[in-house]
Structure formats: structure tokens, C-alpha cells
Amino acid sequence: MSESTSLKNQLRAASGEQACDLLLENATIVDVYTCTTFQGNIAITDGMIVGIGAYTNGKQVVDVKGKWICPGLLDGHVHIESGMVRPEELAKVLIPRGITTIIADPHEIANVGGTDAVRYMIEASKNIPLDIKMMIPSSVPAAWFEENGATLSSHDVDVLLQEGNVYGLGEVMDYPAVCSGDDEMLRKISLAKTAGCPIDGHGSGLGEKALNAYRVVGIENDHEAITGEEALERVRKGFYVLMREGTATRDMEAILPAVTPFNSRRFAFATDDKHLDDLIEEGSIDFSVRKAIELGLNPLQAIQLGSLNTAECFQLQDRGAIAPGKKATFLVLNDLNTFEVNSVYVEGEKVAENGNLLTSLRPNIEVPSQLLNSVRVKPFTKQDLQLPLKNSNEATIIEASLTSIVTKKVVEKVEIENNCFKPNKNQLKLVVMERHHQKGTIGVGICKGIPIQRGAIVSTVAHDSHNIIACGVDDDSLYHALNHIVDIGGGMAVVDGDRVLATLPLAIGGLMSTQPASQVKWALNQLQGALTEIGYQEKVDPFLTLAFLALPVIPSIKLTSKGLFDVEAFTFIDQ
């Protein structure tokens, strides 16, 4: 059907001249424009809402008396790779919960496989019920000195934009490049602006002048505010603030008190990085809506933040509200205050009900062979994992937090053996090993704040270069953990001495599984059980905390394959 024919059908249905395709009767409509509700019938034709009012003639009629109708939810910033399943599997998890659109930045897998990896994610996101707006990663690598698997240049950005399958420019993480006016970074931003694309920010720890610079170049949103004052500073400068509720980063409780009826239209929700088990057990943006309500936000305003605000932030004028001219992508709610989703419609078709997906998805897109062979390391020995210390009894330590990706730089006395650091359960040895080009570089440091009592944990998910990262109480466990993860071609594991207690293979770039979500969830449960065996008692998943200890654009101190890095001074630390 041509666009012109479809529009004429919609106009005839809107005027009442012909029956609409779907008629929802006795609806209680959530009006996200005014944060009120009202009663009415909703007429839908060709997947679009064509009218609200006294319509009575529909080819299919559904009585929704006693239910609330609200827009489908949007996630303003997410890395699909953090869910550890391919896009098709993620859709099966998110759609029944009412998340119908996500703004996805594939910079995790781009750091492994470059433009081929981005194109794979684009193809894997097509023709599924979940509308995935794929951004072009802007900062691959995240910092110029990183040893990642590939680079995305401004030429690559230009080519991807011309191919027409991307939506905008992903989070600009390399803030020194922005603030210094780096030609390559400015060209990427200019290309996106010329194409009329939204540009995502990443303003972690940025001060007043750096935030000014971000706005000057056209960056429009930021998900890195962690306090109410940081959020308000961004709103005053014209940013949209995406309140983040992920696995390791949960900022809503700190930010929400800054939201008022006068500024609320500049706030929205995002998950950023959320593991599959958390998505299944507590939810995605639906969880954000429920949490905001529990923290005292009006339910209608919470829905507004999860729908209309995000849609407008990303220039998605065809969704985000229940109104004529919008896509008929909406949720039927059993209860407004608990945000209990009864059913989900995408462009007028019911796709989920009572937590179950009703539609069959197409076969999975084939994964490029190079992404299935992404773990390549130079042979190493246990001696390569040693950390000699010049100052015999003191060292700079990364102090991690299980609920934040921001770390602290501390100097403490440490235990020494043969002039090298000897780890213990209070001061773990941290290792980052280059795994893309067999360079043989290994960064070794010290961390605290991940309370395992023995053994080691290891992963190829290590933002953003995704080298191998491990922390442990003893060198034997670390050595066996590193070898195991190389042997399986990437993933996560819990190791005690020479025993592998549990493992999750992540064959796609060392980041995502080829298995269904249910099997990945089972493996994650096995990992959690193994963590208790090595004395870990916390509820927060330590693997995501571990993954961010290698990201040198988040304050204040991190470990890369080249060594310990002071993010605020933007220089390496010599131990």
C-alpha cells in the first residue's frame, strides 16, 4: 500500500466515513501532554491512531473498560551488548514489559569488530517488534591510547550515515577531544549535525566549562549525572537528563528530588548497561517507571518521562503519546500505580499479553565469523601477572563501589612478597590483558570494594575496549581464570584455584551469547551461585562493577592493558 493510499484510509477513518481497523472502547487514556486521564474510544487504522472520541465503527473492537491506555515506553540510552544476548533475543525480553523503542549505541561490539560489527547489529535489529534506533559509536576507542579491537573514524561515520540505516551519533565519550577541538571528533559531530541526527552526550565528571563545550558542539542529552545538582546544572544548559537505572549504576534516587513540575519535561529514563538477569527479574524502563512512582513521583508524570520526554529528546515525533497522528504503539495497563502491563500493541497489532510474546520472530541474523573468533592473546606466564612496587609498602589502589561506576583513588599500605604486591581478600589483584591483536600487554593493579573472599572472577566484558579483565585473591586463581576465558573464546567465569566453578560463554565478540535468553539466564544464575562459593554475599552483580574498572573516561582511576590511569589528571600512574 502506498503512503498516499494509507493516508487517505486514515483520513476516512478519522472522519468516520469508514470503519477503522481497530477500535478500543471505554478506554481510560493517559494524556502525557497534560498528565491527566480521560475517557474515550481510540480509532486505529494502518497502525496509526486516527482519532479519539465517540467512534463506534471498527473492524475489530476491543473493550478495555477498567484498563488504562498509555504510550509504549522508550529507553533513551542502552547498550544491547550489556544484556548479553543478540538483539532478536532482547526483543523477546523487553516487548512483553512494554518497552517498544530503544536508542541503542553498539560501541561495545564496535570496539571489538569495527564497522562490520555495527552493520551486524543494524541487520539483527531489523524487522522485529522492538524498534531499535541504532546510533553510530562516536568514540571508538574511548580514548586514543586504548588497545581495543578496531577504530571508527570520521570516514566510517560518514559512510554509515550515507548507508541510511543509523539514527544518530552515539555517546561522545572522548571529552578531551571535544574540549580541545580535535578535528576528527569535530568532523564526526559535524556530519551528524548536517544529517539532522541527534547526538548523545557522556559528561561524566565534567565541570561547568566542559559542559558548555558539549552544548556548543550540539550534544543534546547526558546520562552521566549522578546527583540532583549535576542534573540541574545540565538542565540549565539545555541538556535532556536521562536518569539511569542499570545494574551497577542506579542514579534515580539521587536525581529524582531535583525533578519538579516546572522542569520535568527535560528528564527521561535510560538503562545504559543492564544485565539480562536484572532485565528479566525486575525490568527495564518499566522498572524505572515503577521505581519513580515508589519514590513519590506522580504515576502520570513517571509515564511521561518514560515515553513523551524520550521521544521528543530523540526527535521521534511519531510516538510517545496517545494522540491522533501517532503510531498505535501502546500499553494496556491493569493498574496505574503499580504499572502492571496487561498487553502490548505495536502499530495496532497485539504482540504481547500477560508477560508473554504472542508473535513469532524471524530467524536470527548470521553472525560474522570474525566476531566468533575475537579472543586472541599472546602466550603468558604466571610471572607476567606480578606487580613490582618501587615504594615497598605503599601503593595506589582503585576503590570500587558496587553501585557506581565512579571509583576513588586511595593510597594504602599493602602486603609485599619478593618485592611484589601480594593480594588478599581486602586488596585484590586486578589484571587487564590485551586480547584483540596479541600484543602481549598486561596491566596489573590493586582494587578493593569487590568483596570476594577467595578465588577470582574473570570476563571479556571490560568497557570499552573489552580486553580480558580479572580480579582475585591469589595468583593461581587469576592465572587459571585468564587461561579458561581464552580457551572458551570469551565470556565470564568464577574460578577457585584450578577449579572453574561456573562459566558463561559469550561467543559473539566476547560480549553476547548465541544462546536463547532462557539459557543465558540459567548460566547467570550458575555464576551467582558460584560467587557465593567464593564468599561473595552482596546482591549487586560484581561482574558489571568489574567491567567498568577498565574504562578510562569515568572518574577517577582505572586500569587499562597499559597500566593504572588517573582519569582526572588524564595520565598514567607509575607505581
Distance CA 420, CA 493 (A): 26
Instruction: Please state the rounded mean pLDDT for residues 78-84.
Output: 97
* R_g of the chain, CA atoms, integer Å: 24
Asked if residue 4 has pLDDT above 90, the reply is: no
State yes or no: pLDDT of 574 exceeds 90.
no
pLDDT of residue 453: 98
Q: Give the model's pLDDT for residue 3.
A: 81
- Residue 433: CB atoms within 10 A of its CB come to 27
Mean pLDDT of 209-224: 97
Same domain, yes or no: 54 and 80: no
Do 255 and 144 share a domain, yes or no?
A: yes
Of the candidates 515, 565, 574, 566, the residue with the CA atom closest to the CA atom of residue 147: 565
Check which CATH number belongs to the domain holding 32 and give it: 2.30.40.10
Domain count, the chain: 3
Mean pLDDT for the stretch of residues 81-102: 98
pLDDT (0 to 100) of residue 16: 92
| Residues in the chain, total | 575
Phi and psi (nearest 5°) for 550? -110, 5
CA separation, residue 150 to residues 154, 192, 554 (Å): 13, 21, 21
Closest among 321, 305, 438, 327 to 373, alpha carbons compared = 438
> Are 287 and 420 in the same domain?
no
Q: Cβ distance 136 to 118 under 8 Å?
A: yes
pLDDT score recorded for residue 247: 87
Maximum separation of any 2 CA atoms in the chain, in Å:
88
Q: Is residue 329 part of a domain?
A: no
Which of the two residues, 247 and 222, has the higher pLDDT score? 222
pLDDT at 392: 73
Judgement on whether residues 89 and 56 belong to the same structural domain of the protein: no
Residue 575 pLDDT level (bands cut at 50, 70, 90):
confident
Do 405 and 495 belong to one domain?
Answer: yes
Name the one residue in this structure whose C-alpha cell is 572453574. 500
Of 465, 457, 475, 476, give the one whose Cα is nearest residue 534.
457
The whole-number pLDDT of residue 248 equals 82
Per-residue pLDDT band for 259 (boundaries 50, 70, 90) equals very high
β-sheet bridge partners, residue 134: 104
List, in sequence order, the alpha helices (H) in 469-533.
Answer: 475-487, 517-533
Whether residue 309 contacts residue 285, with contact meaning beta carbons closer than 8 Å, is answered with no
Q: Indicate if 408 and 525 belong to the same structural domain.
A: yes
Residue 190 domain flag: yes
The whole-number pLDDT of residue 189 equals: 98
Look at residue 349 and tell me if it is in a domain.
no
pLDDT at 361 over 80: yes
**End-to-end alpha-carbon separation of the chain, Å?**
68
Of the three residues 285, 303, 319, the one that is the final residue of a domain is: 319
d(CA 411, CA 575): 11
| Interval 471-480: pLDDT, tens | 999 999 999 9
Q: pLDDT at residue 482 above 80?
A: yes
The Cα 21–Cα 43 span in angstroms is: 8
In a domain, 91, yes or no: yes
Residue 391 has pLDDT above 80, yes or no: no
Where b means 16+ CB within 10 Å and e means fewer, 299-331 reads bbbbbbbbbbbbbbbbebeebbbbbeebbbbbb
Domain boundary among 302, 319, 336: 319
Better-scored residue on pLDDT, 1 or 116: 116
Strand partners, 469: 432, 459
Q: State whether residue 96 is helix, strand or coil.
A: helix
Residue 287 lies in a domain: yes
Q: Residue 301 pLDDT > 90, yes or no?
A: yes
Which residues share a beta bridge with 269? 243
Burial (CB count <10 Å: 0-12, 13-18, 19+), residue 341: buried
53-69 in b/e form (b: 16+ CB < 10 A) is eebeebeeebebeebbb
**Judgement on whether residues 16 and 116 belong to the same structural domain of the protein:** no
Same domain, residue pair 132 and 231:
yes
* Per-residue pLDDT at 5 exceeds 90: no
Per the domain annotation, does 18 fall within a domain? yes
Give residue 573's pLDDT band: very low, low, confident or very high (50, 70, 90): very high
- In tens, the pLDDT along 143-202 reads 889 999 999 999 999 999 999 999 999 999 988 899 999 999 999 999 999 999 999 999
Full domain range(s) for residue 156? 72-319
Distances in Å between the Cα of 470 and the Cα atoms of 141, 170, 276, 456, 565 are 21, 28, 21, 7, 17
407 domain-assigned: yes
Mean pLDDT of 241-256: 94
Closest CA to 101 of 393, 313, 264, 244: 313
Element (H, E) at 123: helix 107-124
Q: Are residues 408 and 309 in the same domain?
A: no
Query: With pLDDT > 90 as the criterion, what percentage of the chain qualifies?
Result: 94
Q: How confident is the model at residue 544 (pLDDT cuts 50, 70, 90)?
A: confident
- Contact predicate 345/339, CB 8 Å: no
Mean pLDDT in the chain? 96
Q: Are both 527 and 474 inside the same structural domain?
A: yes
Residue 168 lies in a domain: yes
* Domain shared by 52 and 178, yes or no: no
Same domain, 290 and 202: yes
| Model confidence pLDDT, tens digit, residues 418-474 | 999 999 999 999 999 999 999 999 999 999 999 999 999 999 999 999 999 999 999
Which of 66, 98, 118 lies at the terminal end of a domain, its last residue? 66
Collect all residues with Cβ–Cβ distance below 8 Å to 560 and sequence separation of at least 6. 145, 146, 147, 432, 443, 465, 467, 550, 552
Domain CATH for 200 = 3.20.20.140
3-class DSSP state for residue 538? coil
* Structural contact between residues 291 and 283, judged by C-beta atoms closer than 8 angstroms: no
> How is residue 557 written as a grid cell?
582511576
pLDDT on residue 540: 87
